[in-house]
Structure 1
Amino acid sequence: MNNKLEHEFFRLIKSDKHKAIQMVFEAYWNPLFKHAIKSVHCKCLAQDLVQDTFISLWDNLEILNFNKSVLAYLYAILKNKTLKFYEKDEVRSRYAISMASFGIASDSNTQNIIIEKELTLIINAEIEKMPKRMKEIYMLKKEDDLSIKQIASGLSLSEQTIKNQLQMAYQRLRTKIV
Protein backbone atom coordinates (compact mmCIF):
# COMPACT_ATOMS: atom_id res chain seq x y z
CA MET A 1 0.00 0.00 0.00
CA ASN A 2 1.53 3.34 -0.89
CA ASN A 3 2.06 5.85 1.92
CA LYS A 4 -0.58 8.26 0.64
CA LEU A 5 -3.27 5.57 0.46
CA GLU A 6 -2.14 4.17 3.81
CA HIS A 7 -2.40 7.59 5.46
CA GLU A 8 -5.78 8.27 3.87
CA PHE A 9 -7.12 4.89 5.01
CA PHE A 10 -6.19 5.49 8.64
CA ARG A 11 -7.56 9.02 8.51
CA LEU A 12 -10.87 7.79 7.10
CA ILE A 13 -11.26 5.06 9.73
CA LYS A 14 -11.87 7.79 12.29
CA SER A 15 -14.50 9.62 10.24
CA ASP A 16 -16.01 7.22 7.67
CA LYS A 17 -15.28 3.52 8.15
CA HIS A 18 -17.38 2.51 5.14
CA LYS A 19 -15.43 4.76 2.82
CA ALA A 20 -12.11 3.58 4.27
CA ILE A 21 -13.00 -0.08 3.68
CA GLN A 22 -14.33 0.70 0.20
CA MET A 23 -11.07 2.46 -0.68
CA VAL A 24 -8.95 -0.49 0.48
CA PHE A 25 -11.36 -2.97 -1.11
CA GLU A 26 -11.11 -1.28 -4.51
CA ALA A 27 -7.33 -0.97 -4.29
CA TYR A 28 -6.57 -4.48 -3.06
CA TRP A 29 -9.35 -6.84 -4.12
CA ASN A 30 -7.56 -7.94 -7.31
CA PRO A 31 -4.08 -8.57 -5.81
CA LEU A 32 -5.64 -10.51 -2.93
CA PHE A 33 -7.87 -12.47 -5.31
CA LYS A 34 -4.90 -13.38 -7.55
CA HIS A 35 -2.96 -14.51 -4.50
CA ALA A 36 -5.90 -16.58 -3.23
CA ILE A 37 -6.54 -18.26 -6.57
CA LYS A 38 -2.88 -19.36 -6.71
CA SER A 39 -3.37 -20.99 -3.32
CA VAL A 40 -6.75 -22.69 -3.79
CA HIS A 41 -7.06 -23.04 -7.59
CA CYS A 42 -10.77 -22.26 -7.51
CA LYS A 43 -12.30 -18.89 -8.40
CA CYS A 44 -15.38 -19.26 -6.21
CA LEU A 45 -13.39 -20.33 -3.17
CA ALA A 46 -10.82 -17.58 -3.77
CA GLN A 47 -13.61 -15.00 -3.90
CA ASP A 48 -15.07 -16.32 -0.65
CA LEU A 49 -11.68 -16.22 1.09
CA VAL A 50 -10.99 -12.65 -0.04
CA GLN A 51 -14.48 -11.56 0.97
CA ASP A 52 -13.98 -13.14 4.40
CA THR A 53 -10.63 -11.34 4.62
CA PHE A 54 -12.31 -7.95 4.17
CA ILE A 55 -15.00 -8.90 6.67
CA SER A 56 -12.27 -9.69 9.19
CA LEU A 57 -10.66 -6.32 8.47
CA TRP A 58 -14.00 -4.63 9.13
CA ASP A 59 -14.51 -6.59 12.35
CA ASN A 60 -11.05 -5.66 13.62
CA LEU A 61 -10.82 -1.99 12.65
CA GLU A 62 -10.75 -0.89 16.30
CA ILE A 63 -7.68 -2.99 17.09
CA LEU A 64 -5.80 -2.28 13.86
CA ASN A 65 -2.25 -1.08 14.45
CA PHE A 66 -1.81 2.32 12.80
CA ASN A 67 1.93 1.72 12.46
CA LYS A 68 1.52 -1.42 10.33
CA SER A 69 0.73 -1.92 6.66
CA VAL A 70 -2.92 -2.65 5.94
CA LEU A 71 -1.95 -4.66 2.86
CA ALA A 72 0.38 -6.86 4.94
CA TYR A 73 -2.44 -7.28 7.47
CA LEU A 74 -4.84 -8.32 4.69
CA TYR A 75 -2.35 -10.85 3.31
CA ALA A 76 -1.88 -12.29 6.80
CA ILE A 77 -5.64 -12.65 7.27
CA LEU A 78 -5.95 -14.29 3.84
CA LYS A 79 -3.11 -16.69 4.61
CA ASN A 80 -4.76 -17.72 7.92
CA LYS A 81 -8.15 -18.21 6.28
CA THR A 82 -6.55 -20.31 3.52
CA LEU A 83 -4.73 -22.48 6.07
CA LYS A 84 -7.92 -22.97 8.08
CA PHE A 85 -9.73 -23.99 4.90
CA TYR A 86 -7.09 -26.62 4.14
CA GLU A 87 -7.14 -27.92 7.72
CA LYS A 88 -10.90 -28.41 7.59
CA ASP A 89 -10.71 -29.82 4.07
CA GLU A 90 -8.11 -32.38 5.15
CA VAL A 91 -10.33 -33.65 7.97
CA ARG A 92 -13.33 -33.80 5.63
CA SER A 93 -11.28 -35.69 3.04
CA ARG A 94 -10.11 -38.24 5.60
CA TYR A 95 -13.69 -38.77 6.70
CA ALA A 96 -14.95 -39.09 3.11
CA ILE A 97 -12.19 -41.55 2.25
CA SER A 98 -12.89 -43.61 5.33
CA MET A 99 -16.63 -43.65 4.57
CA ALA A 100 -16.03 -44.52 0.90
CA SER A 101 -13.73 -47.34 1.86
CA PHE A 102 -16.59 -49.05 3.67
CA GLY A 103 -18.16 -49.73 0.26
CA ILE A 104 -15.06 -51.57 -0.92
CA ALA A 105 -15.00 -55.29 -0.19
CA SER A 106 -12.12 -55.61 2.26
CA ASP A 107 -11.39 -56.42 5.83
CA SER A 108 -13.59 -53.94 7.72
CA ASN A 109 -11.86 -54.77 10.98
CA THR A 110 -8.55 -53.51 9.54
CA GLN A 111 -10.27 -50.37 8.28
CA ASN A 112 -11.75 -49.75 11.70
CA ILE A 113 -8.34 -50.11 13.31
CA ILE A 114 -6.81 -47.62 10.86
CA ILE A 115 -9.63 -45.12 11.35
CA GLU A 116 -9.40 -45.49 15.11
CA LYS A 117 -5.65 -44.85 15.00
CA GLU A 118 -6.11 -41.74 12.83
CA LEU A 119 -8.80 -40.38 15.13
CA THR A 120 -6.65 -41.12 18.18
CA LEU A 121 -3.75 -39.19 16.63
CA ILE A 122 -5.99 -36.22 15.82
CA ILE A 123 -7.51 -36.23 19.32
CA ASN A 124 -4.14 -36.57 21.07
CA ALA A 125 -2.66 -33.75 19.01
CA GLU A 126 -5.57 -31.48 19.95
CA ILE A 127 -5.35 -32.45 23.63
CA GLU A 128 -1.68 -31.41 23.60
CA LYS A 129 -2.69 -27.98 22.22
CA MET A 130 -5.21 -27.37 25.02
CA PRO A 131 -4.43 -24.83 27.75
CA LYS A 132 -2.85 -26.45 30.81
CA ARG A 133 -5.92 -26.29 33.08
CA MET A 134 -8.33 -27.46 30.37
CA LYS A 135 -6.03 -30.38 29.53
CA GLU A 136 -5.73 -31.31 33.22
CA ILE A 137 -9.52 -31.29 33.71
CA TYR A 138 -10.10 -33.23 30.49
CA MET A 139 -7.55 -35.89 31.45
CA LEU A 140 -9.02 -36.26 34.95
CA LYS A 141 -12.44 -36.82 33.41
CA LYS A 142 -11.45 -39.10 30.53
CA GLU A 143 -8.35 -40.93 31.76
CA ASP A 144 -9.05 -41.15 35.50
CA ASP A 145 -12.84 -41.36 35.02
CA LEU A 146 -13.51 -38.88 37.82
CA SER A 147 -16.87 -37.18 38.21
CA ILE A 148 -17.27 -33.44 37.82
CA LYS A 149 -17.81 -33.18 41.57
CA GLN A 150 -14.58 -35.11 42.29
CA ILE A 151 -12.57 -32.97 39.86
CA ALA A 152 -13.99 -29.74 41.29
CA SER A 153 -13.17 -30.85 44.81
CA GLY A 154 -9.65 -32.02 43.92
CA LEU A 155 -8.76 -28.82 42.06
CA SER A 156 -10.63 -26.46 44.43
CA LEU A 157 -12.79 -25.15 41.58
CA SER A 158 -16.52 -24.83 41.16
CA GLU A 159 -18.44 -27.57 39.40
CA GLN A 160 -19.60 -25.01 36.84
CA THR A 161 -15.98 -24.15 36.00
CA ILE A 162 -15.26 -27.84 35.44
CA LYS A 163 -18.35 -28.18 33.22
CA ASN A 164 -17.34 -25.09 31.22
CA GLN A 165 -13.78 -26.34 30.73
CA LEU A 166 -15.00 -29.77 29.64
CA GLN A 167 -17.52 -28.26 27.26
CA MET A 168 -14.78 -26.12 25.65
CA ALA A 169 -12.48 -29.16 25.42
CA TYR A 170 -15.19 -31.25 23.75
CA GLN A 171 -15.95 -28.41 21.34
CA ARG A 172 -12.27 -28.17 20.35
CA LEU A 173 -12.17 -31.91 19.70
CA ARG A 174 -15.43 -31.86 17.71
CA THR A 175 -14.15 -29.13 15.39
CA LYS A 176 -11.03 -31.19 14.63
CA ILE A 177 -12.89 -34.42 13.99
CA VAL A 178 -15.84 -33.12 11.98
Structure 2
Amino acid sequence: MTSEVEELIALKNGSHKAFEAIYNRYAGKLYNFIMTISHGDKYMSEEVIQSAFVRLWETKERIDPEKSILFYLSTISRNLLFNRYQRQTIEFLYQKLMINEQKPYHRQTENEIDRKWLESFVDELIDQLPPARKKIFILRKKEDLSTREIAEAMNISVSTVETQLSLAMKFMKAEFAKNYDKLFLAVFFLLI
Protein backbone atom coordinates (compact mmCIF):
# COMPACT_ATOMS: atom_id res chain seq x y z
CA MET A 1 0.00 0.00 0.00
CA THR A 2 1.52 3.31 -1.04
CA SER A 3 -0.93 5.64 0.62
CA GLU A 4 -3.63 5.64 3.26
CA VAL A 5 -6.28 6.45 0.62
CA GLU A 6 -5.37 3.32 -1.34
CA GLU A 7 -5.34 1.36 1.91
CA LEU A 8 -8.84 2.58 2.77
CA ILE A 9 -10.10 1.72 -0.71
CA ALA A 10 -8.65 -1.77 -0.29
CA LEU A 11 -10.31 -2.02 3.14
CA LYS A 12 -13.67 -1.02 1.64
CA ASN A 13 -13.21 -3.89 -0.79
CA GLY A 14 -12.61 -6.35 2.07
CA SER A 15 -8.80 -6.49 2.20
CA HIS A 16 -7.64 -8.18 5.38
CA LYS A 17 -4.12 -6.93 4.69
CA ALA A 18 -5.32 -3.31 4.63
CA PHE A 19 -7.29 -3.86 7.82
CA GLU A 20 -4.25 -5.34 9.54
CA ALA A 21 -2.06 -2.42 8.42
CA ILE A 22 -4.59 0.10 9.75
CA TYR A 23 -4.90 -1.84 13.01
CA ASN A 24 -1.12 -1.96 13.47
CA ARG A 25 -0.79 1.76 12.70
CA TYR A 26 -3.59 3.10 14.90
CA ALA A 27 -4.39 0.60 17.69
CA GLY A 28 -1.66 1.99 19.96
CA LYS A 29 -2.70 5.61 19.38
CA LEU A 30 -6.35 4.79 20.06
CA TYR A 31 -5.42 2.84 23.17
CA ASN A 32 -3.54 5.85 24.55
CA PHE A 33 -6.47 8.13 23.67
CA ILE A 34 -8.99 5.89 25.46
CA MET A 35 -6.64 5.39 28.42
CA THR A 36 -6.57 9.17 28.82
CA ILE A 37 -10.33 9.69 28.76
CA SER A 38 -11.02 6.57 30.84
CA HIS A 39 -8.57 7.75 33.51
CA GLY A 40 -6.22 4.80 33.03
CA ASP A 41 -8.76 1.95 32.89
CA LYS A 42 -6.67 -0.64 30.99
CA TYR A 43 -9.39 -3.28 30.76
CA MET A 44 -11.97 -0.80 29.46
CA SER A 45 -9.45 0.65 26.99
CA GLU A 46 -8.59 -2.77 25.57
CA GLU A 47 -12.27 -3.71 25.26
CA VAL A 48 -13.16 -0.44 23.56
CA ILE A 49 -10.30 -0.65 21.06
CA GLN A 50 -11.17 -4.22 20.10
CA SER A 51 -14.84 -3.26 19.68
CA ALA A 52 -13.87 -0.19 17.63
CA PHE A 53 -11.90 -2.29 15.16
CA VAL A 54 -14.70 -4.85 14.96
CA ARG A 55 -17.06 -1.97 14.18
CA LEU A 56 -14.59 -0.66 11.56
CA TRP A 57 -14.60 -4.04 9.82
CA GLU A 58 -18.38 -4.31 9.98
CA THR A 59 -18.88 -0.83 8.50
CA LYS A 60 -15.94 -0.87 6.06
CA GLU A 61 -18.21 -0.33 3.04
CA ARG A 62 -19.25 3.10 4.40
CA ILE A 63 -15.70 4.42 4.87
CA ASP A 64 -14.84 7.59 2.97
CA PRO A 65 -11.21 7.11 1.81
CA GLU A 66 -10.78 10.88 1.56
CA LYS A 67 -11.44 11.42 5.27
CA SER A 68 -9.20 10.72 8.25
CA ILE A 69 -9.47 7.12 9.42
CA LEU A 70 -7.90 8.09 12.75
CA PHE A 71 -10.67 10.63 13.37
CA TYR A 72 -13.27 8.01 12.39
CA LEU A 73 -11.76 5.41 14.74
CA SER A 74 -11.40 7.98 17.55
CA THR A 75 -15.07 8.89 17.26
CA ILE A 76 -16.15 5.24 17.30
CA SER A 77 -13.89 4.52 20.31
CA ARG A 78 -15.07 7.54 22.28
CA ASN A 79 -18.72 6.70 21.63
CA LEU A 80 -18.20 3.07 22.63
CA LEU A 81 -16.54 4.17 25.87
CA PHE A 82 -19.33 6.61 26.73
CA ASN A 83 -21.96 3.98 25.92
CA ARG A 84 -20.25 1.54 28.28
CA TYR A 85 -20.17 4.14 31.04
CA GLN A 86 -23.86 4.91 30.50
CA ARG A 87 -24.67 1.21 30.60
CA GLN A 88 -22.71 0.83 33.84
CA THR A 89 -24.62 3.73 35.42
CA ILE A 90 -27.99 2.28 34.52
CA GLU A 91 -26.87 -1.18 35.64
CA PHE A 92 -25.77 0.31 38.97
CA LEU A 93 -29.15 1.97 39.47
CA TYR A 94 -30.97 -1.19 38.41
CA GLN A 95 -28.88 -3.36 40.77
CA LYS A 96 -29.55 -0.98 43.64
CA LEU A 97 -33.23 -1.26 42.84
CA MET A 98 -33.04 -5.07 42.86
CA ILE A 99 -31.06 -5.13 46.14
CA ASN A 100 -33.59 -2.85 47.78
CA GLU A 101 -36.40 -5.03 46.47
CA GLN A 102 -34.92 -8.04 48.29
CA LYS A 103 -34.70 -6.30 51.66
CA PRO A 104 -37.34 -7.21 54.26
CA TYR A 105 -40.47 -5.11 54.28
CA HIS A 106 -39.84 -2.61 57.04
CA ARG A 107 -39.28 0.58 55.05
CA GLN A 108 -41.21 3.74 55.44
CA THR A 109 -44.23 4.18 53.23
CA GLU A 110 -42.58 6.96 51.19
CA ASN A 111 -39.56 4.79 50.39
CA GLU A 112 -41.75 1.89 49.32
CA ILE A 113 -43.71 4.19 47.05
CA ASP A 114 -40.46 5.56 45.56
CA ARG A 115 -39.11 2.05 44.97
CA LYS A 116 -42.31 0.91 43.29
CA TRP A 117 -42.42 4.06 41.20
CA LEU A 118 -38.80 3.59 40.07
CA GLU A 119 -39.37 -0.09 39.28
CA SER A 120 -42.55 0.77 37.41
CA PHE A 121 -40.75 3.53 35.51
CA VAL A 122 -37.96 1.15 34.40
CA ASP A 123 -40.52 -1.51 33.40
CA GLU A 124 -42.48 1.06 31.38
CA LEU A 125 -39.31 2.06 29.55
CA ILE A 126 -38.50 -1.58 28.81
CA ASP A 127 -42.04 -2.04 27.43
CA GLN A 128 -41.49 0.85 25.02
CA LEU A 129 -38.56 -0.91 23.34
CA PRO A 130 -39.15 -2.70 20.03
CA PRO A 131 -39.91 -6.41 20.66
CA ALA A 132 -36.51 -7.87 19.69
CA ARG A 133 -34.59 -5.12 21.51
CA LYS A 134 -36.82 -5.60 24.55
CA LYS A 135 -36.11 -9.34 24.58
CA ILE A 136 -32.35 -8.76 24.26
CA PHE A 137 -32.42 -6.17 27.04
CA ILE A 138 -34.38 -8.45 29.40
CA LEU A 139 -32.10 -11.41 28.68
CA ARG A 140 -29.04 -9.27 29.44
CA LYS A 141 -30.26 -7.19 32.38
CA LYS A 142 -32.80 -9.40 34.13
CA GLU A 143 -31.59 -12.89 33.24
CA ASP A 144 -27.90 -11.88 33.20
CA LEU A 145 -27.00 -13.70 29.98
CA SER A 146 -23.81 -12.70 28.17
CA THR A 147 -24.01 -11.11 24.73
CA ARG A 148 -22.70 -14.36 23.24
CA GLU A 149 -25.38 -16.42 25.03
CA ILE A 150 -28.07 -14.04 23.82
CA ALA A 151 -26.73 -14.18 20.26
CA GLU A 152 -26.81 -17.97 20.32
CA ALA A 153 -30.27 -18.13 21.89
CA MET A 154 -31.74 -15.69 19.36
CA ASN A 155 -29.64 -16.92 16.41
CA ILE A 156 -28.18 -13.47 15.72
CA SER A 157 -24.66 -12.04 15.73
CA VAL A 158 -22.94 -10.77 18.86
CA SER A 159 -22.55 -7.37 17.21
CA THR A 160 -26.32 -7.23 16.62
CA VAL A 161 -26.86 -7.96 20.31
CA GLU A 162 -24.35 -5.24 21.27
CA THR A 163 -25.95 -2.75 18.88
CA GLN A 164 -29.44 -3.48 20.21
CA LEU A 165 -28.24 -3.17 23.83
CA SER A 166 -26.51 0.09 22.97
CA LEU A 167 -29.71 1.45 21.38
CA ALA A 168 -31.75 0.32 24.39
CA MET A 169 -29.33 2.01 26.79
CA LYS A 170 -29.32 5.18 24.70
CA PHE A 171 -33.14 5.24 24.87
CA MET A 172 -33.09 4.59 28.63
CA LYS A 173 -30.52 7.31 29.18
CA ALA A 174 -32.59 9.83 27.21
CA GLU A 175 -35.70 8.94 29.20
CA PHE A 176 -33.76 9.11 32.47
CA ALA A 177 -32.47 12.55 31.45
CA LYS A 178 -36.04 13.75 30.76
CA ASN A 179 -37.09 12.60 34.24
CA TYR A 180 -33.84 13.35 36.06
CA ASP A 181 -35.41 15.29 38.94
CA LYS A 182 -37.95 12.59 39.76
CA LEU A 183 -35.42 9.77 39.37
CA PHE A 184 -32.77 11.50 41.45
CA LEU A 185 -35.20 11.95 44.34
CA ALA A 186 -36.49 8.38 44.12
CA VAL A 187 -32.96 6.89 44.05
CA PHE A 188 -31.73 9.27 46.77
CA PHE A 189 -34.49 8.25 49.17
CA LEU A 190 -34.04 4.57 48.36
CA LEU A 191 -30.33 4.73 49.18
CA ILE A 192 -30.61 6.53 52.52
* TM class, shorter-length: 0.5 to 0.7
Q: Give the partner amino acid of 1:90.
A: T
Larger C-alpha radius of gyration, 1 or 2?
A: 1
1:20 aligns with 2:15: no
RMSD in angstroms over aligned alpha carbons? 3.4
Question: 1:170 deviation in Å?
Answer: 3.6
User: How many percent of aligned residue pairs carry the same amino acid?
Assistant: 18
Counterpart in the other structure of 1:139: none
- Asked whether the equivalents of residues 32 and 50 of structure 1 are also in contact (C-alpha less than 8 Å), the reply is yes
- Asked whether the equivalents of residues 126 and 172 of structure 1 are also in contact (C-alpha less than 8 Å), the reply is no
Counterpart in the other structure of 2:45: 46
- Asked whether the equivalents of residues 97 and 115 of structure 2 are also in contact (C-alpha less than 8 Å), the reply is yes
Counterpart in the other structure of 2:4: 6
Q: Give the partner amino acid of 2:19.
A: I
In structure 2, C-alpha distance between the alignment counterparts of 1:108 and 1:19, rounded to whole Å: 64
Distance 1:21 1:173, change over 3 A: closer
Question: 1:112 deviation in Å?
Answer: 4.0
Mind listing any 5+ residue stretches in structure 2 that lack a counterpart? 143-192
Q: Deviations over 1:24-53 (max 9, x none)?
A: 111111121112122334201210110110
In structure 2, C-alpha distance between the alignment counterparts of 1:30 and 1:94, rounded to whole Å: 34
- Asked whether the equivalents of residues 88 and 176 of structure 1 are also in contact (C-alpha less than 8 Å), the reply is no
Counterpart in the other structure of 1:62: 61
- Asked whether the equivalents of residues 5 and 66 of structure 2 are also in contact (C-alpha less than 8 Å), the reply is no
Question: 1:95 deviation in Å?
Answer: 2.2
What is the TM-score with the length of structure 2 in the denominator? 0.57
In structure 2, C-alpha distance between the alignment counterparts of 1:97 and 1:60, rounded to whole Å: 37
Counterpart in the other structure of 1:32: 30
In structure 2, C-alpha distance between the alignment counterparts of 1:45 and 1:81, rounded to whole Å: 10
Aligned pairs (5 A) from 1:45-124? 45-101=44-100, 102-103=102-103, 107=107, 110-122=110-122
- Asked whether the equivalents of residues 13 and 20 of structure 1 are also in contact (C-alpha less than 8 Å), the reply is yes
In structure 1, C-alpha distance between the alignment counterparts of 2:94 and 2:12, rounded to whole Å: 47
Higher relative CO (CA 8 A, sep ≥ 6), structure 1 or 2?
2
Mind listing any 5+ residue stretches in structure 1 that lack a counterpart? 131-164
- Asked whether the equivalents of residues 97 and 119 of structure 2 are also in contact (C-alpha less than 8 Å), the reply is no
Q: Deviations over 1:150-173 (max 9, x none)?
A: xxxxxxxxxxxxxxx6x2474477
What is the TM-score with the length of structure 1 in the denominator? 0.60
Q: Deviations over 1:14-73 (max 9, x none)?
A: 676111111111111112111212233420121011011001101111121223221111
Q: Aligned pair count?
A: 139
- Asked whether the equivalents of residues 122 and 177 of structure 1 are also in contact (C-alpha less than 8 Å), the reply is no
